[in-house]
Amino acid sequence: MNTIKSLKFIVGKVLDVVFGPTVYEDEPNKLNDAIKQTYKQGKLLILHVYDGDTPKFTSIELPESDFLIFNTKLTQSVFSFLLNYKVSSIPFCGCFYCPSDNPSDCKCIRQIPREEEIALVFQSFFAYKDFLLDRRYRENNREIINEQDQQYQEEYQNQLDFEEEEYAEEEDIQYLDNFTKEEVEARFSSLPEEPSENDPDAITVKCNINGKAKVRRFLITDSAAFLYDFVAIDTFPEIPLIRYGFPSIQLEDYDKTFADLHFSKKEMVYVEI
């Protein structure tokens, strides 16, 4: 008797500082969801089933960290669930331990015949406390591990992207640095014929090379490598750095077309050494 009074005192103190737990109200088809949530969160399930003439428990208040409450009318699905627990009458209120998200695995660890006996479920909580806390610990650790793994994967992918970009830049520089005078001249001589100024796909690029102007037309679909070949002959043996647009952008990807780089119909570029 003293134990029950002590438990009621504890419940009263707890309820002074916490809100009630999650409640599924009048949603019989959500019983499975309630069981899944109870299992996942490492709590105990308070199931209260009533008929149309029976008042619901109005003051089932327990700590949210430990309990989930499910209030529902008696339906066929709820009736089928209760058959496993030899429930003889409605209204029914019971405390369930859910070791998995399968309803058939639920264990009714205490029936609560009267609302005022709700404090007794604390005994059930204490009896299963180690199991519940262990589940919460494992779930929390699993979430932390998943977050850390995701963070590691993102950082690893960022590092790969960075290294790939650096490698591509080094490869471009090495590629350009390996040109001989003869190769630079040959590439300049092999430039495609200038398109007509009336060609709708033609663009005019004016190059400022150390204060000297040089102009040529290209097709908007041409590779930017043609522009490099056009100015490299004037800067050899130095590698030209080509800047265009406003604000100024350094041309680095010579595999792209002028269209990819958003060159305008008339474009001014600055060539630095």
Query: For residue 50, what pLDDT is reported?
Result: 80
For position 112, what pLDDT does the model report?
A: 76
Alpha-carbon gap, residue 141 to 136, rounded angstroms: 8
CA–CA distance, 195 with 46 (Å, rounded to integer): 81
Report the C-alpha dihedral over residues 175, 181, 185, 191, rounded to 10 degrees: 10
Are 123 and 209 part of one and the same domain?
A: no
Q: Are residues 54 and 136 in the same domain?
A: yes
CATH number at residue 56: 3.40.30.10
Assigned domain for 106 exists:
yes
- Identify whether 112 is part of a domain: yes
Boundary-marking domain end, from 115, 140, 165 = 140
Note whether residue 75 is domain-resident. yes
Indicate the SS3 state at residue 213: strand
Q: In what order do the strands lie in the sheet with 23-25?
A: 23-25, 67-73, 44-50, 92-97, 107-111
Strand partners, 69: 23, 46
Domain count, the chain: 2
**Do the domain assignments include residue 2?**
no
pLDDT given at position 72 = 83
What is the structure's pLDDT at 13? 36
- For the chain (length 273 residues), average pLDDT per consecutive 10? 38 36 55 87 84 59 76 82 82 84 85 64 60 61 65 75 68 57 88 92 92 92 93 87 88 90 92 86
Residue 130 covered by a domain: yes
Q: What is the pTM of this model?
A: 0.38
Strand partners, 93: 48
**Cβ atoms within 10 Å of 34's Cβ, excluding its own:** 23
Contact, 192 vs 221, CB < 8 A? no
Of 180, 162, 173, 145, residue with least CA distance to 254: 173
Whether residue 77 lies inside any domain: the answer is yes
Domain ends where: 140, 159, 186?
140
Number of helices (H) and strands (E) in the chain: give both, helices first: 6, 10
Q: Label the pairing between strands 202-209 and 266-272.
A: parallel
Domain housing 121: 29-140
- Asked if 36 and 135 sit in the same domain, the reply is yes
Which CATH number belongs to the domain containing residue 236 in this structure? 3.10.20.90
Does 124 reside within a domain?
yes
- Identify the domain boundary among 107, 125, 140: 140
* Position 102 in a domain: yes
